[in-house]
Amino acid sequence: MANNLQDSVQQPSFSYRELVDALVDRGYLVVDDFLSPELTKALRDEITELNRMGIERAGIGRGGALQVNDDIRSDKTQWIEGETSAQQQFLSQCDDLRSEINRHLFMGLHDYEAHFAVYEPGSFYQKHLDAFKGRSNRVLTNVIYLNEHWESEWGGELAVYDEADQLIERVLPKGGRAIFFLSERFPHEVLKTTKQRLSIAGWYRINSSTGSYIDPAR
């Protein structure tokens, strides 16, 4: 990884306040330039290389119930474990945000997990919720886009719906852009893409472990 990444730690160009206010008012926010172009490129290069070496088809569900289902989603994913300086920088930027959100909103966000996702041409992810009330510890989703450039004719937009299932936003997956939304409230889908589409999907989680039940590591 290029060393200059270490020296050029960038703050997101939006204010924490903007995110906090949007979460209170609307429950979601789209921001451009959430990641610097340098970090976006470094992460794009990494996922491109990981994909070249071969990464896994994404599954639905967790643990024993994990299954690959072609009808629901056709992306490939790789968990981000902080193995490179770009990944560390990404995780620390998202974790700084976690502290700020907790400070202002008392959401009790406990940790953050994220994976790279590759949607090859023809791939999609059908309309879904990331969390069901009381059944998941995922409370806030963010999705960060890594393609340098995207055109609307290429498909692959993220369609976001409200609680009444009305379309509220079609987000072009343009490099550096991010969307944040409350995981239980917004059904969303990745429309079929005609170009390779690179992104990171992440979740801020509360700790819902109890004495007899330990939250899975992810």
- Binds 181: which of Mn ion, ligand OGA, none (CB < 5-8 Å by kind): none
Q: Distance between CA 158 and CA 167 in Å, rounded?
A: 11
Name which of 130 and 184 has its Cβ closer to ligand OGA: 130
Smallest separation, CB 1 to ligand OGA (Å): 24
Smallest separation, CB 59 to Mn ion (Å): 13
Beta strand ranges found along 42-91 (DSSP E): 56-57, 76-79
Sort 162 into a burial class: Cβ within 10 Å, 0-12 / 13-18 / 19+: middle
Residue among 195, 58, 29, 173 nearest 125 (CA): 58
Q: Pattern of binders to ligand OGA over 97-136, x per CB under 6 A?
A: --------------------x-------x----x------
Name which of 34 and 125 has its Cβ closer to ligand OGA: 125
| Interface positions with ligand OGA (CB under 6 A) | 117, 125, 130, 143, 158, 188, 190, 199, 201
